[in-house]
Amino acid sequence: MLTELKREQAQFIALLARVARIQRDKFLGNVAESDLNDVEPGRGEHNPTADIAFAPLEPGSEQMKSLSSAIDELTPTARAELYALMRIGKGHMGAGDWAEGFSDAARLGESTIAATLLEDPDLHDHLMKGLYETGTDQ
């Protein structure tokens, strides 16, 4: 499945995303989700702060610069593979739909892929689940 993206690269980017998420949540004051949302939807996004992505962090913050730099250093093919892993981890497609996710990434273009990855506050979880679902987590 993964041709250019190495498992270790995906895990490193996931780790950077986790650190950025921790900093973001700290900045927001670790508000409990129950304080932000009255009714939890049966389907779809369950995190009411997901809509604000990493917006509370400055684009020039160390966490965002590190995450952005790690994504930018990937080859276009590896970045497309990372995007497909994220989509699988989100549940937008199954591991068997790898080619579809890869072709979706090709249609989006480089800047859109990078922006989509950087706007996902749960990128760590989505990448780790994508690695698991594709069997590349070992």
In a domain, 103, yes or no: yes
Mean pLDDT of 83-107: 85
Q: How confident is the model at residue 35 (pLDDT cuts 50, 70, 90)?
A: low
In a domain, 74, yes or no: yes
Asked if residue 10 has pLDDT above 90, the reply is yes
**Would you tell me how many other CB atoms lie within 10 Å of the CB of residue 8?**
8
Q: How many domains does the chain have?
A: 1
Domain assignment of residue 15, given as a range: 7-31+50-134
Q: What does the block give as tokens for 132?
A: 């698991």
Alpha helices in 42-122 (DSSP H): 62-72, 76-90, 98-108, 110-118
Pairwise CA distance, residues 11 & 14, whole Å: 5
Pairwise CA distance, residues 118 & 35, whole Å: 26
**In whole numbers, what is the pLDDT of the chain averaged over residues?**
79
In a domain, 37, yes or no: no
